[in-house]
């Protein structure tokens, strides 16, 4: 074959191919990942093939992903729309011959285009519609056919695609009616081309009739109909049609007073008129303005408009369009132009500045703007009176309750003001500024900000007016009106940031320099400290825009790099990191302090007040003297304010600032120390603990006492006693948060001010807390263990035995029901472990303690405290809040970990003490015994690991997460090596030192911990926890645990039988250990049921020893039981056992038959089902000649009927099966019990 030279190809074809190839590469590099799928569908359409409904739905699902980012699809629109609309045109031509099927194809194609309309909008999509002259009548005919089709419901329209087809065709008409030819030449319905000029052409009548009917539709259909009407009536040969439509519109608008008025029709007419006044000829539209405005002005103030925000928005849009028709287009020389359109001109503006200065006129009415075009006052112009009415309506729209209406009014004010003179524009500005006066609502402030932004963007807000506007914007940036449960104003602050953003884009650096210096601190205060994330980001964006456009702003780049979009997403990060970084620069510290002091510590949100107090303390390091003198002086009187929010925030702020000043080395004056120390007594004297907000203030007071103690503020004895009494009262409060804060305060208070008190005081205080452990007040029983846990070791060293004994007793469930409280047990566990930690160092280091005391103390921990914690791991108490025992188990696991570290760290000290004793005494044997003393032995380690592993496979995610993390830390602790753990090397391989492991995830924790079943020392404990998940009610846990168990059993073919044997032995042990404990027995039986269902994979499950043990367990558990879940599971197990071809199956079958006479109908029915399955699977349980009869009896008997009839049939079955009647009577007696 001859080689073809590329140079011989036609140049035009080569260029076209290159262009197509380049375009295809461009589309491949764009963002739409599903382009290949879409392209394959479009190619099918281009080849004339139809697409099925599934492809259409897939296309819809792809396009729905781009709903929020429709601009990403714009590069692809031409490649999608052109082939699809070509297919619609082709099928429309074929529709005259083949009707229904072709129409269905057109519907599918129109659905594709309609989906793009929803995502990208009408303007972007309609640009690629075909617009041949011949298509006009074709589209009208197709729309007629769809329009006259049988009426369907709205749901049918959506499901059949008829609505999408009509919408696309109407939008297509809005393009086709713009053909540059007379409609008379296109309308083939006219005979001989003759038509009276006074009449509307028939084709136009058809289009208007259909479009008017669609104006009462909802959504995209209504907008498309309005566009179609506006495009048609914008033609110069449509004067007659325009007049008739205006008359019809006036009739519709005046019908708002009728009772049965259609709101959607009103809305459609208003939108259509707005579209007409946007594109129509000004002279033609100006003639009908009085008629239209008379109807609009009445409708705006009507009740029906007050009920529809969308109608009010459309009315204001129409109002501004009419206003722009009334005012001639003109270029206002007085407008401010801060920047040139071309980059080159902007870069050369400094070079030509002197030239511009020489050309600026001088005089009273001229304003010079360095670096910008000049602007002068214009001659007055005649403004129609109707413009004043329209501006009043637009200004009222700025006060509307809906944001969309205010936004539309703001844009209308900007557009109309652009066509007015400077004097009129100043009047408009004055009216806008009145919206910010006292008494105006948040809607007025928001609308005013939007209007100011529009005026600034359009150059209508002159720099000389900025001194009037900037103070208003500063107030708007901090606008926050407090309601009872919340506050309003976030939308106002967001709009104020938008105004600042518009300033940065509109004005030059010379005009904005002073303005930016005053706005920047306020913007950054909002960016760092606003409660709403959208306001923080909006203020940061406004600051970034000003820094980028206004030149070299001091530290601007560093600030915007720190306060970016992502760093401001977290309020804690904004307060504690971003704001602290910005405050180091000059000009921001005082503004930040004032924002926090005057607005945030009195905020209605409690969490925000707490965060604001910490944020204030974080700023202390920059100027301690300012905080120690000025800020504290302002805050301390507020601690007695009648406003709860201010009182609470000020108390917290004083506490945090005092502590921060202490850390900075600030020396408080005597007067300041007296003032700070008198806050708590003053609050107590004012009885501010009582009534509303008492709980909030108690927590704040505890924090103030804690910070005061840490700061070593000088206190008199009376004040010390007052603070201690306050802490003791808070410890007995029922709120857990108040008790925790009180315990923290007590810990530092005793060490700061009561360290050197006499022994009688410490003894009395200790006895007081011990007595509260048995108090009838449950709150006191919860608080006293927390107090004992934070006492100084010096208070405990003499009576530690009594303290540990009482706390250990409080950790366990009490026989007295009135003393049972889960929270008290949790706090008791925390307290006893804290006492052990505090005393472990003190006793070993004390010179007065001998080896006998040390040994006795640690033996007490090992034999009493640790054993108590192990017992607490069996706390599964349930109340109306759920498994409250899980709180106790979590605390017990934490306590066991801490006690383990105590043992391991103090083992060496005990041996050292023994050596010291042997070198200084003659009792050498005693020293040898001390060296042999072991605190943490192998038995304790085995029980510890087994208990943690058990909790790591139970039902609650949080419990599993805590147990897995503790187990991981014990095995891989770097600080303290935990010794004596059996199979430690294997455990370290199974449980890796990976902090990213999510132990709360079932598919992770079960797969890891189940491997401990291979170790006999851990297997029983692990299985006792695992069965609660495998047989639990949660499907996800059940599935994950069973999957992990079966995977463990099948992981190695060589050891499978051994693992199965160990598993069934452990399972029998669990069933016997937890006899009559339904919490474990029921899920354990369900686990047995699951294992029997896998008999084809598991071999040892059929062993006679296991099956016999299971039958013995069932004989005990099912007798007299009324639990349906237990009975159903037991019957299912009996069915599995009876189906095994083994002599023991007869025993199971006999027990199974006994449940056919149970007094629960559902149990009888379940047992009958199992009997039937057993007979089908194991034909050895009955004689072959009796099998058919027995099956017939089982099938025909209504086992959910009367119990007497069921028992008669059961007796018959036993006789047919050859079972003894005596056994039946005995079984019936047991079942009835």
Q: How far apart are CA 961 and CA 996, in angstroms?
A: 12
Q: Please identify which residue in the block is written with the tokens 């825009």.
A: 545
Q: How far apart are CA 829 and CA 808, in angstroms?
A: 8
Reported as half-sphere exposure (CB side, CA atoms, 13 A), residue 1182 has a value of 24
Q: How far apart are CA 273 and CA 271, in angstroms?
A: 5
- The crossing angle, in degrees rounded to 10, of helices 422-433 and 442-457 is 150
* Average pLDDT value for the chain: 84
**What are 76-113's pLDDT values in tens digits?**
888 889 988 988 888 888 876 555 567 788 888 899 89
Q: How far apart are CA 209 and CA 173, in angstroms?
A: 13
Structure confidence at residue 380 (pLDDT): 63
Region 311-333 average pLDDT: 89
482 - beta bridge partners?
Answer: 487
Structure confidence at residue 894 (pLDDT): 95
Q: How far apart are CA 201 and CA 270, in angstroms?
A: 25
Point out the least confidently predicted range of 537-551, 631-645, 841-855: 841-855
Most confident of 62-71, 174-183, 595-604, 1094-1103: 595-604
Structure confidence at residue 369 (pLDDT): 38
Q: How far apart are CA 887 and CA 872, in angstroms?
A: 10
Q: How far apart are CA 46 and CA 51, in angstroms?
A: 11
Percent of the chain with pLDDT over 70: 87
Residue 260: other Cβ atoms inside 10 A: 5
Report yes or no: 1089 and 1136 within 8 Å, Cβ to Cβ: yes
Question: 229: closest CA among 211, 209, 210?
Answer: 211
Structure confidence at residue 155 (pLDDT): 44
CA distances from 22 to 15, 25, 860 (A): 10, 5, 84
The more confidently predicted of residues 1154 and 342 is 1154
Q: Is the pLDDT confidence value at 1233 over 80?
A: no
The string of DSSP letters for 862-931 reads IIIIHHHHHHHTT----BTTB-THHHHHHHHHHHHHHHHHHHHHHHHHHHHHHHHHHHHSS-HHHHHHHH
What stretches of 756-821 show up as alpha helix (H) in DSSP?
A: 759-772, 778-790, 793-796, 800-811
Question: Kindly report the CA angle at 399 between 396 and 400, in degrees rounded to 5?
Answer: 95
Q: How far apart are CA 847 and CA 868, in angstroms?
A: 30
User: What tokens were used for 300?
Assistant: 């705006």
375 - beta bridge partners?
Answer: 367
376 - beta bridge partners?
Answer: 366
Most confident of 565-574, 916-925, 1107-1116: 565-574
Distance of CA 93 to the CA centre of its chain: 53
Report yes or no: 555 and 516 within 8 Å, Cβ to Cβ: no
Residue 106: other Cβ atoms inside 10 A: 25
DSSP SS3 for 990: helix
pLDDT band at 596 (very low <50, low <70, confident <90, very high): very high
Distance of CA 970 to the CA centre of its chain: 35
The more confidently predicted of residues 320 and 1095 is 320
In b/e form, how buried is each residue of 14-39, taking b as 16+ CB within 10 angstroms? eeeeeeeeeeeeeeeeeebeebeebb
Q: How far apart are CA 247 and CA 1130, in angstroms?
A: 83
Question: Kindly report the CA angle at 321 between 315 and 326, in degrees rounded to 5?
Answer: 125
Reported as half-sphere exposure (CB side, CA atoms, 13 A), residue 333 has a value of 12
User: What tokens were used for 908?
Assistant: 């060496």
**What are 734-789's pLDDT values in tens digits?**
999 999 999 999 999 999 999 888 888 989 999 999 999 998 899 999 999 999 99
Most confident of 248-252, 964-968, 1194-1198: 964-968
Mention every residue, 6+ apart, whose C-beta is less than 8 A from residue 479: 442, 445, 489, 492, 493, 496
Point out the least confidently predicted range of 139-143, 194-198, 253-257, 317-321: 194-198
Q: How far apart are CA 357 and CA 369, in angstroms?
A: 9
Mention every residue, 6+ apart, whose C-beta is less than 8 A from residue 618: 575, 576, 579, 580, 660
What are the φ/ψ torsions at residue 372 (nearest 5 degrees)? -135, 170
Whole-model pTM: value is 0.82
Q: Please identify which residue in the block is written with the tokens 């009561």.
A: 754
Structure confidence at residue 340 (pLDDT): 52
Q: How far apart are CA 854 and CA 865, in angstroms?
A: 15
What are the φ/ψ torsions at residue 76 (nearest 5 degrees)? -100, -10
Expressed in angstroms, the distance from the first to the final Cα of the chain is: 100
Report yes or no: 875 and 895 within 8 Å, Cβ to Cβ: no
Reported as half-sphere exposure (CB side, CA atoms, 13 A), residue 840 has a value of 25
Strands 487-488 and 481-482: antiparallel
Question: 185: closest CA among 138, 228, 133?
Answer: 133
**What are 817-871's pLDDT values in tens digits?**
677 899 999 999 999 999 999 988 776 665 555 556 777 888 899 999 999 999 9
Structure confidence at residue 341 (pLDDT): 47
Q: How far apart are CA 470 and CA 450, in angstroms?
A: 14
Q: Is the pLDDT confidence value at 377 over 50?
A: no
Question: Kindly report the CA angle at 317 between 315 and 319, in degrees rounded to 5?
Answer: 70
Q: Is the pLDDT confidence value at 953 over 90?
A: yes
Task: Taking the CA atoms of 394, 398, 400 and 402 in sequence, report the sign of the dihedral they define.
Answer: positive
Integer Rg of the chain from CA: 43
- The crossing angle, in degrees rounded to 10, of helices 736-753 and 717-731 is 150
Longest pairwise C-alpha distance within the chain: 140
Q: How far apart are CA 188 and CA 425, in angstroms?
A: 53
Q: Is the pLDDT confidence value at 729 over 90?
A: yes
Structure confidence at residue 1222 (pLDDT): 40
Structure confidence at residue 10 (pLDDT): 39
Strands 366-367 and 375-376: antiparallel
Report yes or no: 582 and 562 within 8 Å, Cβ to Cβ: yes
Question: Kindly report the CA angle at 814 between 773 and 695, in degrees rounded to 5?
Answer: 45
Structure confidence at residue 909 (pLDDT): 59
**What are 967-996's pLDDT values in tens digits?**
999 999 888 888 889 999 999 999 999 888
Structure confidence at residue 1056 (pLDDT): 65
Distance of CA 864 to the CA centre of its chain: 46
Q: Is the pLDDT confidence value at 1227 over 60?
A: no
């Amino acid at each position: 074959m001859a080689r073809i030279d590329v140079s011989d190809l036609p140049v035009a074809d080569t260029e076209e191919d290159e262009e197509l190839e380049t375009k295809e590469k461009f589309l491949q590099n764009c963002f739409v990942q599903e382009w290949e799928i879409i392209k394959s569908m479009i190619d099918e359409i281009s080849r004339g093939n139809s697409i099925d409904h599934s492809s259409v739905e897939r296309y819809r699902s792809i396009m729905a992903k781009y709903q929020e980012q429709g601009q990403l699809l714009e590069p692809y629109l031409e490649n999608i729309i052109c082939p699809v609309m070509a297919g619609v045109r082709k099928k429309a031509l074929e529709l005259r011959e083949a009707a229904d099927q072709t129409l269905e194809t057109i519907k599918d194609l129109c659905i594709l285009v309609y989906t793009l309309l929803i995502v990208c909008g009408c303007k972007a999509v309609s640009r690629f519609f075909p617009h041949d002259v011949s298509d006009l009548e074709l589209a009208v005919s197709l729309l007629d056919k769809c329009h006259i089709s049988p009426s369907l419901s709205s749901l049918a329209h959506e499901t059949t695609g008829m609505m999408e087809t009509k919408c696309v065709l109407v939008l297509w008409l809005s393009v086709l009616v713009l053909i540059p030819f007379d409609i008379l030449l296109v309308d083939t319905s006219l005979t001989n081309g003759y038509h009276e000029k006074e009449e509307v052409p028939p084709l136009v009548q058809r289009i208007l009739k259909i479009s008017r009917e669609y104006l009462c539709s909802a959504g995209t259909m209504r907008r498309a109909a309005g566009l179609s009407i506006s495009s048609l009536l914008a033609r110069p040969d449509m004067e007659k049609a325009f007049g008739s439509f205006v008359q019809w519109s006036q009739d519709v608008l005046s019908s708002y007073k009728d009772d049965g008025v259609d709101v959607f029709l009103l809305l459609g007419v208003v939108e259509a008129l707005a579209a007409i006044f946007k594109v129509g000829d000004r002279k033609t539209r100006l003639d009908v303005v009085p008629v239209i405005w008379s109807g609009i002005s009445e409708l705006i103030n009507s009740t029906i408009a007050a009920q529809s925000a969308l109608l009010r928005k459309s009315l204001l849009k129409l109002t501004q369009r009419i206003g722009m028709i009334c005012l001639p287009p003109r270029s206002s020389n007085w407008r401010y132009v801060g920047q040139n359109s071309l980059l080159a001109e902007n870069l050369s503006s400094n070079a030509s500045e002197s030239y511009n200065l020489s050309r600026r006129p001088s005089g009273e009415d001229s304003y010079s703007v360095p670096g910008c075009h000049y602007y002068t006052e214009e001659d007055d112009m005649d403004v129609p009176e109707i413009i004043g009415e329209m501006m009043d309506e637009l200004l009222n729209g700025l006060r509307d309750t809906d944001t969309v209406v205010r936004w539309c009014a703001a844009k209308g004010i900007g557009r109309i003001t652009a066509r007015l003179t400077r004097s009129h524009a100043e009047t408009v500005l004055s009216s806008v500024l009145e919206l910010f006066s006292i008494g105006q609502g948040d809607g007025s402030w928001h609308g005013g900000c939007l209007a100011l932004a529009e005026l600034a963007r359009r150059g209508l807000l002159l720099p000389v007016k900025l001194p009037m506007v900037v103070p208003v914007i500063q107030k708007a940036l901090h606008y926050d009106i407090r309601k009872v449960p919340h506050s309003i104003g976030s939308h106002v602050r967001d709009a104020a940031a938008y105004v600042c953003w518009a300033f940065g884009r509109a004005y030059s650096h010379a005009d904005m320099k002073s303005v930016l210096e005053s706005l920047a601190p306020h913007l950054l205060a909002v960016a760092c400290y606003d409660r709403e994330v959208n306001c923080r980001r909006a203020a940061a964006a406004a600051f970034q825009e000003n820094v980028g456009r206004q030149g070299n702003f001091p530290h601007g780049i560093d600030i915007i790099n720190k306060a970016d979009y992502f760093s401001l997403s977290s309020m804690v990060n904004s307060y504690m990191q971003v704001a602290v970084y910005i405050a180091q620069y000059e000009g921001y510290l005082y503004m930040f302090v004032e924002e926090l002091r005057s607005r945030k510590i009195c905020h209605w949100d409690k969490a925000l007040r707490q965060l604001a107090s910490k944020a204030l303390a974080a700023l202390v390091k920059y100027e301690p003297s300012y905080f120690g003198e000025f800020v504290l002086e302002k805050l301390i009187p507020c601690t007695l304010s009648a406003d709860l929010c201010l009182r609470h925030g000020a108390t917290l702020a004083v506490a945090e600032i005092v502590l921060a000043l202490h850390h900075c080395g600030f020396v408080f004056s005597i007067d300041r120390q007296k003032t700070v120390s008198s806050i708590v007594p003053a609050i107590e004297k004012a009885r501010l603990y009582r009534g509303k907000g008492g709980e909030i203030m108690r927590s704040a007071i505890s924090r103030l006492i804690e910070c005061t103690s840490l700061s070593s503020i000088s206190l008199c004895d009376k004040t010390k006693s007052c603070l201690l009494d306050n802490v003791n009262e808070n410890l007995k409060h029922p709120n857990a948060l108040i008790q925790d804060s009180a315990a923290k305060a007590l810990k530092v208070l005793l060490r700061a001010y009561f360290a050197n008190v006499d022994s009688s005081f410490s003894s009395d205080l200790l006895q007081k807390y011990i007595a509260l452990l048995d108090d009838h007040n449950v709150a006191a029983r919860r608080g006293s263990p927390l107090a004992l846990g934070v006492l100084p070791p010096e208070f405990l060293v003499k009576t530690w035995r009594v303290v540990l004994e009482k706390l250990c007793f409080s950790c366990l469930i009490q026989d007295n029901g009135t003393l049972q409280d889960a929270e008290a047990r949790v706090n008791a566990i925390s307290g006893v472990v804290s006492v052990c930690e505090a005393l472990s160092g003190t006793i070993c280091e004390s010179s007065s303690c001998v080896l006998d005391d040390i040994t006795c103390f640690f033996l007490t921990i090992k034999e009493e405290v640790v054993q108590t914690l192990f017992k607490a791991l069996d706390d599964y108490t349930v109340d109306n809040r759920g498994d409250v025992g899980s709180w106790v188990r979590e605390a017990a696991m934490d306590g066991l970990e801490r006690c383990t570290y105590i043992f391991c760290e103090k083992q060496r000290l005990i041996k050292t003490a023994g050596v010291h004793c042997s070198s200084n005494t003659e009792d050498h044997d005693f020293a040898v015994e001390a060296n042999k003393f072991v605190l943490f032995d192998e038995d304790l380690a085995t029980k510890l690991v087994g208990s943690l592993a058990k909790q790591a496979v139970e039902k609650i995610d949080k419990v599993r997460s805590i147990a897995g993390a503790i187990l991981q830390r014990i095995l891989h602790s770097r600080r303290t090596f935990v010794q004596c753990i059996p199979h430690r090397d294997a455990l370290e391989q199974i449980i890796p030192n990976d902090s990213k492991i999510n132990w709360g995830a079932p598919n992770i924790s079960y797969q890891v911990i189940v491997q401990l079943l291979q170790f006999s020392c851990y297997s029983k404990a692990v299985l006792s926890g695992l069965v609660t998940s495998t047989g639990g009610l949660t499907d996800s846990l059940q599935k994950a645990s069973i999957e992990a168990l079966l995977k463990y059993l099948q992981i190695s073919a060589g050891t499978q039988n051994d693992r199965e044997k160990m598993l069934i032995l452990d399972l029998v042990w669990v069933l016997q250990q937890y006899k009559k404990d339904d919490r474990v027995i029921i899920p354990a039986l369900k686990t047995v049921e699951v294992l029997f269902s896998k008999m084809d994979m598991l071999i040892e499950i059929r062993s006679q020893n296991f099956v016999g043990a299971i039958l013995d367990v069932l004989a005990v558990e099912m007798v007299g039981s009324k639990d349906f879940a237990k009975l159903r599971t037991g019957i299912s197990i009996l069915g599995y056992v009876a189906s095994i071809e083994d002599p023991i199956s007869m025993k199971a079958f006999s027990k199974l038959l006994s449940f056919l006479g149970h007094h629960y109908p559902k149990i009888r029915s379940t047992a009958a089902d199992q009997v039937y399955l057993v007979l089908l699977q194991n034909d050895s349980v009955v004689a072959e000649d009796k099998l058919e009869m027995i099956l017939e009896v089982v099938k025909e008997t209504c086992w959910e009927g009367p119990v007497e009839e069921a028992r008669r049939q059961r007796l018959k079955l036993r006789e047919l099966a050859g079972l003894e009647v005596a056994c039946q009577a005995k079984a019936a007696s047991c079942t009835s019990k």
